[in-house]
């Protein structure tokens, strides 16, 4: 073993990253060595005197850069979960260098000439379907990266890409700074009014962690904020915390993101125009299932109208509750969750704090694993002998029906100051067969408030749904069964990648699952049938609110990337104009306001693509109906098609072809509207 673990073949079981030997100081030299090695591989590929063919060009390109990928995946997983000043400094320094490295490859005319030559004779090479798909995707990737531009245009495009990488890093770090710096200190019983015991315990642990032992504190992770807004009877404190939450990235000073947004939008539009598109949105959506901004707008308008109408009725019920209690005020955004919980208890006799007792974290993990076993024959074995990057992380080995190793799964569930907010799936290693079988190492990251020592973590229904959602993504990565890494797992269009995750959510609220795993944390008694029926009856409760806060974020994202950046001016003012145009209810705030909209501005994964959750929801509502139509939500034949054409298939097919292969047809929007309770089922 060496002092630089990235330079060696890892001898850990399953080649797990040796986290116990990885230090921040190692990353910069590891990146530099890996980039140099990658450049040598590319030069060797370009200099190959043999006529370009699939193996010596496309497959060779797939194999190049494996060492760089190895370093990058460890590094960026740690910057999201274990960030500190030293890691953030390396991240800022490396972002433009990595972008420059990638641009140099995609904009190298010698390399593109080889790729283009193979593409031109693709129908004469005897390629199988997967090879042809890879060739088409690689060629399109080069073209969309600017390979066909002039020398001057390629140079400018490289500069834009490099600057955007730095801006995305800066945006994410600014949000993380605002989140990690802030906490609301609660001092005494009056400040704790309405808060359930498990939340108090978590708040006490956070206060102690922040140097205020004996008091309580609330941070800005979404789970903490939404729980406080749901339970706290202190309207003044709800307003204080809510304002801090929605103002992340907009507080002035070094962490303010408004200028970052403006510069990002200008550069994205300039790049799109260089590539021949009128707007960034047209460029981005050209390579998606939706295909165009018009298709997205059509879906968004249909759902928005139904959601806004439903939200108006919900607001009236909440205001009536306020009036009945003698509250002399109008419903405000920081009131919504508190009074929605009261209305839910009144209309459905459903108390969210009571419900939490039946949704302990450990049981919900078991439930997610159980569904995977029933659908796909997977078993999960906890491994305590493997290196992990934080003591809270749990590690599981996944095996198939025959006992064969499938993947490693890491669960990083608890919030901490070094972790960015939200929930996501990522990979320390993805699946491929090229160059030998490589099985994935997948991680799910959540931000559940950590309970006091010895106490169980209890989830809200939304948090349990998030756990299932992210595990659906994890399965998409773990079950991948393709040859080429560029087609593996979640490497699909953004408006298709949410199908496996959102579909998986459906099984959480199935009675078969709840009766088995929704066991009370203290008594181990199953959820009472009466309470189960209340949960199922309330599935569409507050869906007007959920639809509006999500669709508003989608509308702002889309309009930002359709507009001429010169006409936008202040992005906050532009955001307000879009919301006014669509008739945003004053009682609701966007789920993600622009200054902390990391989906859109901390990188480009969901830029002009936040609609993807809605687009995929059209698919997932229809896909789950395929199981319901059989009378068995674990129907083996349907599950096999789901496995073969969705979860295991990566990007082997165009998304429309993949969905049609599973379902036999494309879906309509009606199941989505019914699922959300926006129309009669």
Cα–Cα distance for residue pair 203/205, rounded to 1 Å: 5
> How many Å apart are CA 540 and CA 498, to the nearest integer?
20
CA 481 to chain CA mean position, Å: 22
Residues in the chain: 681
**165 sits in which H/E element:** helix 151-181
Q: Which long-range contacts (CB under 8 A, 24 or more apart) does 506-512 make?
A: 506/620, 506/624, 506/633, 507/371, 507/468, 507/633, 508/364, 508/367, 508/464, 508/465, 508/468, 509/535, 509/536, 509/539, 510/633, 511/536, 512/633, 512/634
Q: Which of 27, 31, 170, 158 is nearest to 105 (CA)?
A: 158
To the query of whether residue 470 is one of the catalytic residues in this protein, the response is: yes
- CB of 341 closer than 8 Å to CB of 219: no
Helical (H) or strand (E) element with 218: strand 216-218
Cβ–Cβ < 8 Å for 518, 363: yes
For Cα atoms 530, 535, 536, give the angle at the middle one, nearest 5 degrees. 100
Q: For residue 622, what are the CA distances in angstroms to 174, 474, 617, 655, 675?
A: 39, 21, 8, 15, 10
SS3 305: helix
Dist. CA 91–CA 94, nearest whole Å: 5
Q: Which two tokens stand for residue 399?
A: 């095996």
Which class for 202: exposed (0-12), middle (13-18), buried (19 or more C-beta within 10 A)? Answer: buried
Nearest residue to 527 (alpha-carbon basis) of 633, 504, 535, 361: 535
Strand order in 424-429's β-sheet? 379-382, 394-399, 405-414, 441-448, 424-429
**CB under 8 Å to 386, separation ≥6 — which residues?**
12, 13, 14, 16, 395, 408
Provide the pairing of β-strand 405-414 with 441-448.
Answer: parallel
Q: Are 271 and 157 in contact (CB under 8 A)?
A: yes
Catalytic residue among 470, 505, 575, 617: 470
DSSP letters, 360-420, are BHHHHHHHHHHHHHHHH--EEEE-SSS--SSTT-EEEEEE-TTS-EEEEEEEEEE--TTS-
Distance in angstroms (rounded) separating the CA atoms of residues 470 and 361:
14
Tokens 């129309």 sit at which residue? 679
Beta strands in 415-498 (DSSP E): 424-429, 441-448
H helical segments located in 479-634: 494-505, 511-517, 529-537, 543-562, 565-568, 571-582, 598-601, 612-628
Residues designated as active site: 470
């Amino acid at each position: 073993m060496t002092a630089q673990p990235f330079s060696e073949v890892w001898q850990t079981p399953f080649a797990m990253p040796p986290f116990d030997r990885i230090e921040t100081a190692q990353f910069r030299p590891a990146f530099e060595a890996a980039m140099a090695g990658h450049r040598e591989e590319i030069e060797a590929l370009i200099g190959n005197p043999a006529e370009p063919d699939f193996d010596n060009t496309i497959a060779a390109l797939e194999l190049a850069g494996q060492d760089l990928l190895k370093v990058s995946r460890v590094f960026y997983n740690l910057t999201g979960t274990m960030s500190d000043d030293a890691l953030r400094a390396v991240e800022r320094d490396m972002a433009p260098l990595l972008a420059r490295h990638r641009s140099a490859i995609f904009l190298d005319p010698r390399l593109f000439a080889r790729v283009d030559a193979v593409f031109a004779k693709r129908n004469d090479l005897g390629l199988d379907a997967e090879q042809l798909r890879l060739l088409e995707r690689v060629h399109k990737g080069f073209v969309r990266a600017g390979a066909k531009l002039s020398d001057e245009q390629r140079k400018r495009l490289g500069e834009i890409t490099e600057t955007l990488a730095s801006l995305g890093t800066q945006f994410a770090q600014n949000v993380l700074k605002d989140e990690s710096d802030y906490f609301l200190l609660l001092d005494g019983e009056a400040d704790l009014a309405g808060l359930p015991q498990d939340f108090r315990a978590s708040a006490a642990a956070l206060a102690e962690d922040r140097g205020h032992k004996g008091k309580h504190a609330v941070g800005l992770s979404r789970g903490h904020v939404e729980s406080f807004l749901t339970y706290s009877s202190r309207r003044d404190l709800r307003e204080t915390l809510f304002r801090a939450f929605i103002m992340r990235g907009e507080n002035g000073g070094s962490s303010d993101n408004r200028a970052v947004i403006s510069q990002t939008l200008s550069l994205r539009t300039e790049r799109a125009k260089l590539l021949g598109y009128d707007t960034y949105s047209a460029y981005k959506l050209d390579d998606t299932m939706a295909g165009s901004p018009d298709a997205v707008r059509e879906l968004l308008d249909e759902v928005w109208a139904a959601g806004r109408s439903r939200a108006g009725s919900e607001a009236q019920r909440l205001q009536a509750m306020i009036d009945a209690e003698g509250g002399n005020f109008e419903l405000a955004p920081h009131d919504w969750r508190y009074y929605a919980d009261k209305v839910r208890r009144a209309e459905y006799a459903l108390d969210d704090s009571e419900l939490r007792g039946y949704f302990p974290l450990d049981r919900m993990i078991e439930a997610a694993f159980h569904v995977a076993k029933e659908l796909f024959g997977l078993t999960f074995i906890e491994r305590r002998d493997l290196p992990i990057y934080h003591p809270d992380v749990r590690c599981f080995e996944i095996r198939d029906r025959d006992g064969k190793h499938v993947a490693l799964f890491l669960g990083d569930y608890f919030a901490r100051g070094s972790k960015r907010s939200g929930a996501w799936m990522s990979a320390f290693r993805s699946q491929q067969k090229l160059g030998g079988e490589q099985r994935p190492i997948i991680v799910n990251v959540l931000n559940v408030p950590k309970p006091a020592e010895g106490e169980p973590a209890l989830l809200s229904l939304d948090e349990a749904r998030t756990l299932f959602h992210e595990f659906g993504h994890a399965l998409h990565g773990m079950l991948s069964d393709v040859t080429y890494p560029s087609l593996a797992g979640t490497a699909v269009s953004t408006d298709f990648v949410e199908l496996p995750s959102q579909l998986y959510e459906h099984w959480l609220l199935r009675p078969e699952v709840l009766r088995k795993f929704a066991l009370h944390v203290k008594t181990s008694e199953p959820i009472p049938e009466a309470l189960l029926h209340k949960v199922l009856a309330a599935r569409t409760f507050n869906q007007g609110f959920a639809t509006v806060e999500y669709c508003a974020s989608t509308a702002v994202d889309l309009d930002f990337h359709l507009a001429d950046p010169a006409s936008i001016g202040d992005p906050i003012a532009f955001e307000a104009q879009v919301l006014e145009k669509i008739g945003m209810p004053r009682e609701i705030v966007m789920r993600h306001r622009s200054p902390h909209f990391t989906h859109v501005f901390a990188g480009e994964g969901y830029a002009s693509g936040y609609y993807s959750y809605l687009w995929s929801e059209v698919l997932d509502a229809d896909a789950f109906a395929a199981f319901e139509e059989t009378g068995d939500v674990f129907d083996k034949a349907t599950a096999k098609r789901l496995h073969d054409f969705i979860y295991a298939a990566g990007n082997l097919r165009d998304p429309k072809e993949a969905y049609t292969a599973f379902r036999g047809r494309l879906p309509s929007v009606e199941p989505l509207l019914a699922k959300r309770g926006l129309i009669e089922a």
